[in-house]
Amino acid sequence: MTPGNNGASTPEDDDPFGYLYADGQANGAQPPSGGYGYPNSVNRVRTVGQRQYGQQAPTAPHGQVPQQPQAAYGRPNAHYAAPETLPGGAQATPRQPAPGAPNGGRRGPNTKGLLIGAVAVVAAVVIGISVAMIGDKSDGKDDSAGGSPSPTVSQSPQSTPSATSSVAADGELPKIDAKALLLGGGATLASDVKGAKADGGVYVTNFNHVGASVTWTVNGIPDDGKYTVFLGYGVPGKDGTATLTVNGTPSSTPVKLKNWANAPAGDYEKGWTKTYNYVQLNKGTNTIKISCEQGNECDANLDQLWLAKGWVG
């Protein structure tokens, strides 16, 4: 054997492209057809899927491709192993829900949005009601009266709180109208019955109950002595009485409210007349009071009060 030439089976002659050269063809090299063209060539080509991970590949006679069992169609290959099952292979990482996500990462109903929407609806309703109420108030109607305007209450003339008169410089004694008297006990003023002689036709009414009263303070009485108190009044066709009090002392003689005008029953307008009482006054200031007390019949309207010197009638 020629030194350096060990035949076609030596490793250095295992040239996959030897069939391209003259010396390779002289040694019997053939183009690849299942092998590299040399008798001792090893077919390293494997069909896809034949590699068995973690197992020793099956051996076959020299120069032949080892046969691998084929899996039936639609069935898993028993020789296949997933990469994560191999030593050092990738491990599957379970998916973790996002922090704070409810229901394992699933989005639930947007309750915050629903709450905000509900509050907005309630606020709109309240604003609408407020505007409607303001509109009702602005039209000048009173809601408490069913939408009707508030009635206007007429005020009766009121008496002068002082109810004080003074004697004139020439000595003439004073006279006072009903509207200037100090009223008490529920007595009021009116002017609907015609015939009163007081200014404006105003008189004292609502006198027919216990406690009703009129009071007159007179200043400047020149001397102690006898005086006469006159009272203008009107009765409805019947007699009545009242109580006279001078300087805090009730008189033993009642005020006689007789039907001197002979007015028909119930006719105040035709019942206007006058009466008088004798009194003792002090020099200076005196207080005269006419009231309806227990036992009196006070169904009368009071018109004027005036004084005269002495007991006259």
Cα–Cα dist 38/62, whole Å: 12
How high is the pLDDT of residue 20?
A: 67
Residue 88 has pLDDT above 50, yes or no: yes
Residue 122: φ, ψ to 5°: -60, -40
Residue 155 pLDDT grade (very low, low, confident, very high; cuts 50, 70, 90): very low
The vertex-130 CA angle with 128 and 133, nearest 5°, equals 110
Residue 132 pLDDT grade (very low, low, confident, very high; cuts 50, 70, 90): low
Q: Across all residues in the chain, what is the average pLDDT?
A: 75
Q: Outline where DSSP puts E strands in the chain.
A: 164-166, 175-177, 182-184, 188-190, 203-205, 213-221, 225-234, 240-246, 249-250, 255-257, 272-281, 284-291, 301-309
Residue 38 pLDDT grade (very low, low, confident, very high; cuts 50, 70, 90): very low
What torsion, rounded to 10 degrees, do the Cα atoms 261, 266, 267, 272 define? 40
Largest Cα span, the chain:
194
Q: What number of CA atoms fall less than 13 Å from residue 190's CA on the CB side?
A: 16
Task: Kindly write down the DSSP assignment for every residue of 48-60, as one continuous string.
Answer: TT---TTSPPPP-
- Per-residue pLDDT, averaged over 53-82, amounts to 52
Residue 237 pLDDT grade (very low, low, confident, very high; cuts 50, 70, 90): very high
Decide: 240 and 297 in contact? Cβ < 8 Å: yes
Cα–Cα dist 312/174, whole Å: 16
| Closest listed residue to residue 282, CA positions, set 215, 217, 213 | 217
Cα–Cα dist 137/255, whole Å: 54
